[in-house]
Amino acid sequence: MTPWAPYELACQDATPHGVVAAVWIPDRPEPAPPEVLERLHPAEAAFAATLRGYRQGQFAGGRLAARSAANLLGGTLGPVLPDARGAPQRPPGLLLSISHKGSLAIAMASRVDAAVDTPITLGADLEDYGPPRPGIAPRVLRPEELAEVEGLPEARRWIAILLRFSIKESIYKALDPYVQRYVGFHEASVSLDLDGAAHVTLHLEHGEGPFHTEARYDWFHGRILTSARIWPARR
Ligand SMILES: CC(C)(COP(=O)(O)OP(=O)(O)OC[C@H]1O[C@@H](n2cnc3c(N)ncnc32)[C@H](O)[C@@H]1OP(=O)(O)O)[C@@H](O)C(=O)NCCC(=O)NCCS
């Protein structure tokens, strides 16, 4: 990674679900400087100007990361504005998801074949490893997941909770375009392989679907990066 410099590219990388670009952001509630807003698409800069506190830096960093990820795939990006539910509006031919944590904003992007009419969506989430907060487990895990975690040696429990939490946030982002509602943490059950793959069972309370869900986790420069791809399954 490059040394921390606000709104500069921290690194670019690739995962099985897409290329990832990461941009440093200030971990403080301060406005993005005018020269940073000028690097955004004018429509994004106008939207950023309406944001306050941490949100302006996060929004701007996410857009710079999105542009960098799209460039890695050989494309250029129009404005990436939020839809009514806060999701980044989908650029044509591209799957895109944005996340920020602390001093880093990331965007994951992958190409889709516009000629194939099966819809597919992508969600990504970035998390810091620590400090451990095992108390979140009952709020974010289903009983069968809790039992799995409690069966692990104590030293492995926090990472097992955190990965499931983050994968569920990725699932939320990938699922949102289909269900357009709040999906609770107890509406998905996740089990983990040791190689980065995750197995997901959806328990959607409104009965939507069925969906294919492909989820995974990767270490990303000392942080955790998870992602999910979702597409409708044929009944
Ligand atoms: C929406 C949510 C997933 C965002 O996650 P977060 O950890 O708070 O924030 P992140 O930095 O990772 O992600 C924020 C980005 O997510 C994207 N996002 C926000 N709402 C979204 C939505 N409805 N659908 C898809 N992407 C969305 C945006 O790009 C946003 O960044 P931006 O506003 O700068 O563009 C989270 O706030 C939430 O509500 N989680 C509870 C529900 C849940 O996860 N359930 C699990 C279901 S299995």
Whether residue 20 is found in the same domain as residue 84 = yes
Chain segment 25-43, per-residue pLDDT in tens: 999 999 999 999 999 999 9
Q: What residues contact 122, with CB distance under 8 A and at least 6 apart?
A: 17, 18, 95, 96, 97, 108, 110, 173, 174, 227, 228, 229
pLDDT at 235 over 80: no
Residue finishing a domain among 63, 95, 117: 117
pLDDT at 205 over 70: yes
pLDDT at 117 over 70: no
45 lies in which domain range? 9-117
Chain segment 57-76, per-residue pLDDT in tens: 999 999 999 999 999 999 88
* Closest C-alpha residue for ligand 1 atom 17: 87
In a domain, 199, yes or no: yes
- Give the pLDDT of residue 76: 86
The answer to whether the CB of 190 falls within 8 A of the CB of 198 is yes
Determine what percent of the chain is predicted with pLDDT higher than 70. 98
- When pLDDT is averaged across residues 8-23 and rounded to a whole number, the result is 98
In a domain, 63, yes or no: yes
Ligand 1 centroid to Cα of residue 229, in Å, is 15
Ligand 1 centroid to Cα of residue 74, in Å, is 26
Chain segment 149-191, per-residue pLDDT in tens: 999 999 999 999 999 999 999 999 999 999 999 999 999 999 9
Q: Terminus-to-terminus CA distance in the chain, angstroms?
A: 45
Q: How many helices (H) and strands (E) does the chain have?
A: 6, 9
Please name every residue paired with 108 in a beta bridge, in sequence order, or none if there are none.
Answer: 20, 97
Domain count, the chain: 2
The answer to whether the CB of 25 falls within 8 A of the CB of 57 is yes
Ligand 1 centroid to Cα of residue 153, in Å, is 31
Identify the residues whose C-beta falls under 6 Å from ligand 1. 58-59, 62, 82, 85-88, 98-100, 125, 168-169, 171-173, 176, 183-185, 187-188
In a domain, 89, yes or no: yes
* Closest C-alpha residue for ligand 1 atom 2: 169
pLDDT at 21 over 80: yes
Angle at 172 between CA 159 and CA 96, to 5 degrees: 100
Nearest to 18 by CA among 61, 68, 77: 68
